[in-house]
A = this chain, B = another copy of it.
């Protein structure tokens, strides 16, 4: 069990440990990573580590949850002022690609988490999907996009971002080119758009 730090300084130290852990687990993988290396990079004493985490497993789990939280916060801030769902999709994708560019070990750490703690791995995707599906359901209720199963649509949209992020950010170390984002958005826009006015009645029961 991690103890939640109550002071501002405690919170800062915990964050420093997590940031060091992101580098160490990302570069070395879970097995080769060590608490000694994490505290070395964080610049704190080994004893301090145990004020926050009990073990290598525990800081790894905390790291996956921390990255999940940071990613969702980063995307939420990027789309906070937007109303139109297609705008939200576009800017949310862009934010995701920027985040992956800044956190080049995100994919690796999340993927490896399935071998360390399957539950934390599933939770990473489930939390993303739940938030995503809630936003999509609101847009459906507001009549901005077609009605369909929000959870399935969330997984579809996460899958698109996942593979484009792999193809461009991980492999080419850059955000996807503008024309790639536009092509994906064109596909998504048609996929989620309301039916044209005249066709509305005919297709309302189709989904």
List A residues at the B interface (Cβ < 8 Å): 29, 31, 108, 111, 114-115, 122, 125, 129, 146, 148-149, 152-153, 155-156, 158-164, 166-167, 171, 179-180, 182-184, 186-188, 190-193, 196, 199, 206-207
B156 touches A164 (CB 8 A): yes
Of B158, B187, B196, the residue contacting A153 (CB under 8 A) is B187
By a CB distance below 8 angstroms, the chain B residues around A193 are 190
B166 touches A125 (CB 8 A): yes
A174 to chain B, nearest CB (A): 15
By a CB distance below 8 angstroms, the chain B residues around A161 are 159
Some 17 contacts from A to B, beta carbons below 8 A apart, are: A125-B166, A146-B190, A148-B186, A148-B187, A149-B179, A149-B183, A152-B187, A155-B164, A156-B163, A159-B160, A159-B162, A159-B164, A182-B207, A186-B207, A187-B191, A187-B192, A191-B191
What does DSSP make chain A's interface, helix, strand, loop or mixed? helix
A152 touches B166 (CB 8 A): no
Q: For the complex, give the distance between the alpha carbons of A183 and B191 in Å.
A: 11
A167 touches B125 (CB 8 A): yes
A79 to chain B, nearest CB (A): 20
B162 touches A162 (CB 8 A): yes
Q: For the complex, give the distance between the alpha carbons of A115 and B107 in Å.
A: 12
Name A148's closest neighbour in chain B (CB-CB): B183
Of B149, B188, B199, the residue contacting A180 (CB under 8 A) is B149
By a CB distance below 8 angstroms, the chain B residues around A163 are 125, 155-156, 158-159, 162
For the A-B complex with A125-B167, A152-B184, A156-B160 known, give 18 more contacts whose Cβ atoms are closer than 8 Å.
A122-B171, A125-B163, A129-B167, A146-B190, A148-B183, A148-B186, A152-B164, A152-B180, A155-B160, A155-B164, A155-B167, A156-B163, A156-B164, A156-B187, A158-B159, A159-B162, A162-B163, A191-B191
Name A187's closest neighbour in chain B (CB-CB): B191
Q: For the complex, give the distance between the alpha carbons of A155 and B29 in Å.
A: 27
B156 touches A184 (CB 8 A): yes
